[in-house]
Amino acid sequence: MQSLLELLSEIAKKRDLSPELYLAELISRDLDPKDRVSIYLKIHSELLNEAEKEYADNDLVQAGEKYWGAVVALLNAIAELKGWEHFSHRDYAIIIERLADEFNDDELRTLFDSVEKLHANFYHNFLDRSGFNLRRDRALALIKRLSEYMARLKGD
C-alpha cells in the first residue's frame, strides 16, 4: 500500500505541481483568499531559498525545479488576487500572457519560457551549467518582476 506522502507526490506530479504547491492548493480551498495569498507567498520564499541552496550545492536538476516552483507560487498568489484560474500549467501560461499584455511587456513571455526549460530539465536533465545559468538568471529576473507586481497589487 502506498504511503500518504507517496500518493501526494504522485498526484502532484500528474498535475505538474510540486507536492508543496499541491498541498497548499488542497488546504487553501477552505481558506479566505487573503490567507491563500499568504500561503503562496510563504511557499514562494521557501522554494526560492531551497533553489538557491540546491544551486550552491551544484544540484542543478533540483534547483531548476525549485525555481519553477517559486515562480508558480508567485503566479498563484497573483491569480488569487486577480480572480484568475491557477490550477494547471496551462493556467500559468495564460497568466503570463495576460500580464505581458497588461504591462505591454513581451519579455515576460521569454522569461517564463526559460523557467519552463528549467522545469523540463527536472524530467530530462539536458542542461549544462552555462545553459542552466542563463535560465536561472532569467528565472530570477521574472521573480523580481512578479514580486514587484505582487507588491503593487497588495498595496505594499
Q: Which residue has the cell 519579455?
A: 107
What is the reported pTM? 0.85
Query: Do the beta carbons of residue 59 and residue 130 sit within 8 Å?
Result: no
Using the structure block, give the residue that is written with the C-alpha cell 519553477.
Answer: 68
- Say if 65 falls within a structural domain: yes
Q: Which residues contact 73 (CB under 8 A, 6 or more apart)?
A: 21, 24, 40, 41, 43, 44, 47
Tens place of pLDDT per residue across the chain (156 aa): 568 878 888 888 888 777 877 877 777 677 787 888 999 999 999 999 999 999 999 999 999 999 999 999 999 999 999 999 998 999 999 999 999 999 999 999 999 999 999 999 999 999 999 999 999 999 999 999 999 999 988 886
Domain holding 119, by residue range, is 18-154
Among 72, 91, 94, 71, smallest CA distance to 142 is for: 71
Contact 20, 42 (CB under 8 A): no
Tell me the CATH number at 34.
1.20.120.330
150 found inside a domain: yes
Domain count of the chain?
Answer: 1
Mapped onto helix, strand or coil, the DSSP state of residue 98 is helix
**Which among 75, 90, 98 is positioned nearest to 21, based on CA atoms?**
75
